[in-house]
Amino acid sequence: MEYQPVIDIEKCPICNTPTASNPISFSCASFEVVQCSNCQTHYHKKYFDKKEMIEYYSELYCYSRDKKDSNPKFSETIFQQRLSKSHRKKPLSYFNDISSKLKILEIGCDAGGTIRHLYSLGHEVTGLDMCPEYVERLKGEGIEVYCTSFDDVTFEKETFDFVVCFEVLEHFINPVENVKKIYDILKKDGGFLFTTPLVKNGFKKFDGKDRAFQLPHFCVYNSTSLKYLLKDFLIEERSGYFIAKKL
């Protein structure tokens, strides 16, 4: 099935500067990206409605991509590829030397490589993902995981020691509200560990083919806009990932 963004984004999702006043960074056949003149966030001028977004994620990340198949099926090949995502190895090493048992939430646990590792270290883990097949596999292993988006789930304040998400921040369609929720559900000394594509060398070096700006990514950040979004956190950039601690 072909999915097309249909919702007009009228304001910057980070600082509410009107989209009409922001310059177009580039456009191609399928989308246009603007850069906020205030906070410097790059974001898409149009995005999916919620129903389409959920269906799109399942087809993109879980199912066979053979366009000839009118009823795409769960792909074991894609599952194994996503299970072994290499960009998660460095940030996960952060937890290897922690002896105390932590309560950790993973947003977008995908095929489960991260949450399985944290579970094996003895931490109390909770996961969220929108692919039913991935969720059922993890549940079958005794891991607490829910088939839902972060927008649609509620936790008590100061529940978790850590929230982790890898290549998820750029997918948030309500980034300010989502980051505030992360802040609220973290304990007093809690941390937010994440990875996300970051524009470091000026947008002009990118074009419409750059994967960082491809749908279903919604926002792409640079160091300025990331600090704007995470203004209530102290951000530390490490080798290949970020740790943000509550101020």
Tokens of 206: 């990118």
Residue 166, Cβ neighbours under 10 Å: how many? 22
CA distance 90 to 239: 7
Residue with tokens 């993890």: 138
Q: What is the mean pLDDT of the chain?
A: 85
What is d(CA 204, CA 141) in angstroms, rounded to the nearest whole number? 46
In the predicted structure, residue 170 carries a pLDDT above the cut 60: yes
> Does residue 63 have a pLDDT over 80?
no
Distances (CA, A) of 205 to 88, 201, 218: 26, 7, 19
Q: Note whether 143 and 123 are within 8 A (CB).
A: no
Q: Is the pLDDT of residue 205 over 50?
A: no
Question: What is the rounded CA–CA span in Å between residue 190 and residue 232?
Answer: 12
CA distance 185 to 157: 4
Q: What is the pLDDT of residue 203?
A: 46
pTM: 0.88
**The pLDDT of residue 58 is above 70:** no
Confidence class for position 18, pLDDT limits 50, 70, 90: very high
Tens of pLDDT, residue by residue over 212-233, are: 777 788 999 998 999 999 999 9
**Amino acid 241: pLDDT:** 92
Average pLDDT (114-126) is 95
| Residue 98 tokens, joined | 């922690």
Q: Does residue 166 contact residue 114 with C-beta atoms inside 8 Å?
A: yes
Q: Could you report the per-residue pLDDT of 29-47, keeping only the tens digit for each?
A: 567 889 999 999 999 998 8
Rounded Cα distance between 117 and 122, Å, is 9
Does the pLDDT value for residue 2 go beyond 80?
Answer: no
Residues 129/139, Cβ–Cβ less than 8 Å: no
Sign of CA dihedral 236, 227, 185, 134: negative
d(CA 4, CA 46): 9
pLDDT-wise least confident of 9-23, 140-154, 192-206: 192-206
Q: Which residue is listed with tokens 């310059």?
A: 23
